[in-house]
Amino acid sequence: MDKTDVTQCKVAVLAGGWSDEREISLDSGRACAKALGQAGFEGVELLDVAADDFLQRLTSGGFDVAFVAMHGRYGEDGCVQGLLEVLHMPYTFSGVLTSAVATEKDYAKSQFRSAGIPTAKGTKLSAGHVPDEAEANNLVDRLGLPLFVKPAANGSSYGISMVHKASELAEAVRRAGQGGQRVIVEACVKGTEITVPVIGNDDPMALPVVEVVAGADAEFYDLKVKYEPSELHHVMPARLDPEVYERAQRLAVLAHKTLGCRGASRSDFIVTADGTPVILEINTIPGMTETSLLPDSARHAGIEFPELCRRFVEWALE
């Protein structure tokens, strides 16, 4: 087969799995499989990683490349990437180490700070450690109110709570602890919420900055808001001063490079009143549903979804 035409490659779209984001992942997988077909790929199969026959289908299917459309644990954290490395199968998006570090928010933040990317103040707790009254008061004294409490390694706003008083902290930590072994307690950075998608490998480029508007009925961009129609919550281009807009794009590219991301990433920021973009987290496999932020931004830049998915396969094969 002539691999100079990437559309001749047989593609396994990996989706589903066991995380909280299973259904979202299946939505992403179906959307990506459809887009690849529209881009001219004829050999595309959607595989549910949690299916009993998944491994047999993956290893015997004659696939040239895996398109990873998984989110959360076992999919975005380096686990499925490790399997694909063992199978010597090229795959989309970041590798094992980058995926693992990006998923662990506290480890990623330490890398960002070393690179000069502003981060929110915060601390890490073990999931089984519920702060007593004295410790809760101490955390509030150090970080202020309100606070965000979230799993250190989860996505799509699962397990996140906004804490308005010290007495709410213990329950928030318990809730976040259900999502993993570690919990992040973080100062609430006030300002304009934005997200900056980045695409590419060695020479990545930032896509248009998206301003994220939660709406009057939501305290923050939570799980419910995230999957409502994009036109309700995505403002493009973001309403920022040109210098701030460009700085946010530069910082997103720097975050992408700092962790060694490949194919795509999406960095979430809060822009403070003085124009400083403060990074919250980076996503190495951004959502690929119809309402997702990265496809919306790419479309605004003139890159339709089928073309975007074709590029992801090309970058996987580099």
Under a CB-based contact definition with an 8 Å cutoff, are residues 186 and 261 in contact? no
Cα gap 15→76, rounded to integer Å:
11
For 43-54, what is the mean pLDDT? 98
Q: For residue 289, give the H/E element and its range.
A: none
pLDDT at residue 221 tops 50? no
32: tokens are 């990506």
| Catalytically annotated residues | 21, 156, 227, 266, 268, 281, 283, 287
For 152-164, what is the mean pLDDT? 78
How would you class 130 by CB atoms within 10 Å of its CB: exposed for 0-12, middle for 13-18, buried for 19 or more? middle
Of the candidates 268, 264, 252, which has an alpha carbon nearest to the alpha carbon of residue 115?
A: 252
Domains (range + CATH), the chain? 6-92 (3.40.50.20), 101-118+189-317 (3.30.470.20), 122-187 (3.30.1490.20)
Q: In the chain, count H helices and then E strands.
A: 11, 13
Which 3 state secondary structure label does DSSP give 142? Answer: helix
**According to the model, what pLDDT value does residue 155 have?**
58
Per-residue pLDDT of 91-128, as tens digits, reads 999 999 999 999 999 999 999 999 999 999 999 998 88
Per-residue pLDDT of 275-314, as tens digits, reads 999 999 999 999 998 779 999 999 999 999 999 999 999 9
Which 3 state secondary structure label does DSSP give 89? Answer: coil
Cα gap 148→167, rounded to integer Å:
14
186: tokens are 């973080």
